[in-house]
A and B are shown apart, each in its own frame.
Chain A
Amino acid sequence: MRKRRLPGALARRSLPILVALAVLLALGAAPARGERTQQGNLIVSLDGSLAPLKLPRDRLAPVAVSLEGGLQTADRTLLPRVTKVELGLPGQGVLSTRGLPTCSQRSLRNAKPPEALAACAPALVGHGKLEAEVLIPNQAPFEIDADLLAFNGRVGGRRAVILDGFSADPPTVVVLPFVVRRGSGRFGAVLVADLPAALGPLPRLAHFSMTLSRRFSYRGRVHSYLSASCPIPPSFTAGFFSFAKATYTLADGRQLSTSIARSCRAR
């Protein structure tokens, strides 16, 4: 026999759902996640996470790194043109591409996601999203939302993460190479992209999100594109570290940057 639910019991059951909805709405109302800095009317944001959070203290383990960030103007005016993006990755992480197939920029030219995957699936190292405002003279600015696929590649003899972005409306394909450079200070590696060469002068970068992670086999062993440890002493259970830094160089020469600190747990 089915029990009849009482209104009080219904209210008790609904309360957590209502609270969760309220929290979701509050989060949705927030302008940007993560840490923010402002210079003039320009706000730079960066957020990021490491998965899994629990890592060995004394050896590397495979991880996925997620980064999300962008630019916005405090007064909602048109964004300035970004000419260079630099993303610093944590020093205790290791980016390993030995044995991982590469994909050339040429194979991705005008390639929609199925074509890009058909050409370069073995080199896939991540995915993401890209939002940009496009300003065409004598037209109202419009937004582009592109899906990103990240591939392992080489540019000018250097290791690179090549992003293939596809937007359905208007139909657009962009190929954006991030060259991997040695980082300084707390950042072990820096992904550097020169934007004008790749995108031209019209799009204004607004927001990006990217998750990098890949496991692959090489010489009979499983390797990870990204690995990290949580090097803390036995008396601690968690450690804090400079996780990432985003630096944007604008067309007028200004540089804006923001960095984030995150924690890891020892297992």
Chain B
Amino acid sequence: MIGRVGGRARRIEIAKGTNRRLWAGLAVLGAALILAAAALAAAAPTRDEYVSRLEAVCKPDAEATQRVMKGARADVRAERLALAAGKFAQATTIFGTTVKGISAAPRPPADAPKLSKWFGYLKNQESYLMQITAQLRAGHAIPAQRLTARFIHNGNLANNVVLAFGFDYCSFKFSRYG
């Protein structure tokens, strides 16, 4: 009888000890999660910080695009399609590098869905540039013309998604393309 009571008490003690350890573990886990969240919040930029970080990446690339695309529209008008294709190829490379560079930047958590949509449009832009280059290289004027219409439309859609960000160099501007 005494042995049974002692065993029960021991079991209760063991259970209490397990509970304590469980609670302590949960507390540590909770604290770790709070610290991790705080660290993430500290690392996540505000919208203004994000915009200036991205603009710093986009500015030299936008200027380089304008340089390499100089005269592209005149080339198309004069039916120098191979020459125009070369310029579009350079612009595509620059665009790809820019998108890769700005994709890596940490995003403001509140803007994550909007930015994800924007990056979707940017990927489409890159794809259109590649396709325009290929069609111009092949001397296919009409498909290149159709793709250019889509490229401009998609660029405007991209701008609308991030309108509130007030981008300048990171926004689509038709005037940069020749």
- Residues of A with Cβ closer than 8 Å to B? 35-40, 43, 74, 185-186, 231-233, 235-240, 242, 259, 261, 263
Contact = CB atoms under 8 A, between A and B. Distances in A.
Contact of B145 (A185, A186, A236, A242): A236
A38 B175 CA distance: 18
Interface in B122-178: 141-142, 145, 148-149, 152, 156, 159-160, 163-166, 171, 173-175
A37 B166 CA distance: 7
Contacts of B156: 35
Contact of A233 (B78, B159, B173): B78
B76 interface: yes
A231 B77 CA distance: 7
A255 B136 CA distance: 38
Contacts of A36: 159-160, 163
B145 A237 contact: yes
Contacts of B159: 35-37
B63 interface: no
Contacts of B166: 37-40
B174 A261 contact: yes
B77 A43 contact: no
Interface in B91-145: 141-142, 145
A249 B175 CA distance: 21
Interface in B52-69: none
Interface SS of chain A: strand
Contacts of A242: 174-175
Contact of B76 (A35, A74, A233): A233
A43 B163 contact: yes
Given A36-B160, A38-B163, A233-B76, 7 more contacts: A38-B165, A235-B141, A236-B145, A237-B142, A240-B149, A242-B174, A259-B173
Contacts of A39: 166
Nearest to B79: A233
A126 B115 CA distance: 42
A231 B79 CA distance: 12
Contact of A240 (B79, B148, B160, B173): B148
A74 B142 contact: no
A263 B152 CA distance: 10
B142 to A, nearest CB: 7
Contact of A238 (B78, B145, B173): B145
B142 A236 contact: yes
Contacts of B173: 259
Contacts of A239: 77, 145
